[in-house]
Amino acid sequence: MVWIGPSAAVTAGSGTTTVRRLNNVASDISVVYDSQGTASTADDRYTVRYGPDGYERGFGGFTAGGDVYGTYRVATQTVGGRGEAFYVLDISNAFANSLDYVQMVSFERDVSATQVQLAYLTVGLQTPRASIPTTGTARFEGETRGLVSTASNNLYGTTSDIQMTANFASGALSGSTSNFRNHSLTGNPASSLGNDPSFSFTASIISGTANFSGTATAPFNAPISPGSGGPGLSGTVQGTFFGPNADEVGLAYDLNMSTSAAWMQGVAVMGRKP
């Protein structure tokens, strides 16, 4: 089963330039899921394909793991002397936890002796373009996972709540995040992030597709040094609808500050409220 969807990735390392990418649905970015014909998850196999870097790798032998904000299944391996890991993320938010057509995953890998790539993807069964509603409105709720880097280049993992309202008649979307929690990349809660990085966004459904694109801002609460001010963050969101009736959403975001090195990126999954 081939899953597609929006994604965000960053490649960084000691003494190297940080490169961030934000991708909407693309034919060369996908995850292939193979249950091996059994109901057990123990023998599941996932193949991730990340075309922008020509990366394609299969993962199996998953084990249970977790961090301070949730549980996951993870497979690790070494290829050519370089470490790699693939995560299937569980979601704690009630609406995101019951999703049937979209899955949040991530991978990390050593690109070189000094560079590491971290990527988050929301992938699944995209809504057929002919099945996108053309009337009515809907509200979605879910959860994010991602990364934030402060102005002093301190990197943290993040999670938050997210909500979005869709006006299918006009194609206009709007939403916001809240309740951001951050943790060190070793999994421990962190209190030194500084200001709240919650952001809001507006977007539009791209005509003739299930995809949408828009802008995001975190005006006065950028993730910078504690107690300092700044112009906030701004950037882009990319997303798409999943499921036969556009009942689920996957979204990727990337924001940065124009006057410092601060940035944040990640993905979200959402389910439609009754």
What is the three-state SS of 88-102? EECCCCHHHHCCCCE
pLDDT of 183: 80
What does the mean pLDDT of the chain come to?
90
pLDDT category at 41 given cuts 50, 70, 90 is confident
Residue 2 pLDDT: 95
Contact indicator for 198, 217 with CB cutoff of 8 Å = no
Contact 46, 33 (CB under 8 A): yes
pLDDT recorded at residue 196: 76
pLDDT digits (tens, 9 = 90+) for 186-234: 556 665 556 678 899 999 999 999 999 999 998 755 555 444 555 688 9
Distance CA(155)–CA(164), nearest Å, equals 27
pLDDT of residue 187: 58
CA 186 to chain centre: 19
pLDDT at position 188 is 60
Lay out the sheet containing 45-50: strands in order across: 2-3, 29-34, 45-50, 55-59
Q: Which is more confident, 166 or 189?
A: 166
Is-contact 254 20, C-beta < 8 A?
yes
Helix and strand element counts for the chain (H, E)? 1, 19
Q: What percent of the chain has pLDDT over 70?
A: 91
Q: Note the pLDDT of residue 210.
A: 98
Question: What is the three-class DSSP state of 77?
Answer: strand
What pLDDT shows up at residue 194? Answer: 61
In 3-state terms, the chain is what percent helix, strand and coil (to 5)? 5, 55, 40
> Which domains can be identified in the chain, with CATH numbers?
2-272 (2.40.160.90)
Q: What is residue 17's predicted lDDT score, i.e. its pLDDT?
A: 80
Q: Does residue 203 or residue 16 have the better pLDDT?
A: 203
What confidence score (pLDDT) does residue 190 get? Answer: 62
What is the Cα–Cα distance from 168 to 133, expressed in whole angstroms? 6
pLDDT mean over 150-158? 82
Q: What is the DSSP letter of 186?
A: T
Category of 70 on φ-ψ map: left (φ > 0), alpha (ψ -120 to 50) or beta: left
Q: Give me the pLDDT at residue 50, please.
A: 97
Has this prediction a pTM greater than 0.85? yes
Residue 205 near residue 212, CB atoms below 8 Å: yes
